[in-house]
Amino acid sequence: MIYLALLRGINVGGNNKIDMKLLKQSFERAGMNDVMTYINTGNIIFSYNGQSKIELSHRLEEVIRKEFGLQIRVLIRSIDEIKGIIKAIPDTWKNDKEMTGDVMFLWDEVDDIALLEKLVIKPSIDTVIYVPGAILWMVDKINITKSGKSKIIGTKLYKQVTIRNVNTTRKIYELMQLQKN
């Protein structure tokens, strides 16, 4: 099975620094196969047969704690789960000088459409879509300071998501497909 491990909050603002080459080696020592990292923000693609996603997540969190001395949450998603998220992202969404499109990957304990009711969504500014496993959020850059997206920072929910932009998410899925073939 092809999986994606999303590490929350590494190599951001000089905090929780982890070298991707060393992280790849740690995953390999932990029994993951065909390990590949993508950019510096904690995106690890690998194949593995065995434990449940929750057990795998805990195992990899423990590896990171032991080898890097960091308490980092690890979210595991299968290639099929990522495919479902990718299909839900409108083709016109991108992350560029005009718009910012993000995928807020959700931990299982908060993964519910009812979560939308807890968010500050400004209908004339924010376009927000729930899909199992993620919240998709797009805003034109000209309106970024007026968006409700930043209101999530510092909340209890903020600790239950890890965010990647839509360009990164699409590339991750492309790499997962290559590994599958």
- How many other CB atoms are there within 10 angstroms of residue 57's CB atom? 20
The amino acid at 55? E
What CATH number does the domain containing 122 carry? 3.30.70.1260
Domain tally, the chain: 2
**Which pLDDT belongs to residue 21?**
96
For residue 161, the cross-strand partners are 106
| pLDDT < 50 positions in the chain | none
Instruction: Look up tokens 């979210």; give the residue.
Output: 75
Among 51, 80, 109, residue at a domain's last position: 80
**Which pLDDT belongs to residue 51?**
79
Distance CA 49, CA 153 (A): 35
**Which pLDDT belongs to residue 158?**
86
Whether 19 and 59 share a structural domain: yes
Q: Tell me: the pLDDT tens digits for 66-89?
A: 999 999 999 999 999 999 999 999
Cβ-count burial 100-110 (b if 16+ within 10 Å, e if not): bbbbbbbbeee
Whether 104 and 76 share a structural domain: no
Whether 92 and 159 share a structural domain: yes
Whether 6 and 76 share a structural domain: yes
Whether 111 and 44 share a structural domain: no
What CATH number does the domain containing 10 carry? 3.30.70.1280
**Which pLDDT belongs to residue 50?**
84
**Which pLDDT belongs to residue 14?**
74
Asked whether residue 170 is domain-assigned, the answer is no
- How many other CB atoms are there within 10 angstroms of residue 25's CB atom? 13
Whether 64 and 123 share a structural domain: no
Whether 101 and 160 share a structural domain: yes
Q: Cα(first)–Cα(last) distance of the chain, in Å?
A: 12
Whether 127 and 156 share a structural domain: yes
Asked whether residue 171 is domain-assigned, the answer is no
pTM of the full structure: 0.94
Among 47, 80, 113, residue at a domain's last position: 80
Asked whether residue 120 is domain-assigned, the answer is yes
Domain containing 99 equals 88-164
Instruction: Look up tokens 């998501």; give the residue.
Output: 161
Whether 53 and 101 share a structural domain: no
Asked whether residue 141 is domain-assigned, the answer is yes
**Which pLDDT belongs to residue 128?**
96
DSSP track, the chain:
-EEEEEESS-SBTTBS---HHHHHHHHHHTT-EEEEEETTTTEEEEE--SS-HHHHHHHHHHHHHHHH-----EEEEEHHHHHHHHHHS-TT---SSSEEEEEEEE-GGG-SGGGGGGS---TTTEEEEEETTEEEEEEEGGGGGG-SGGGGTTSTGGGGEEEEEHHHHHHHHHHHHHHH-
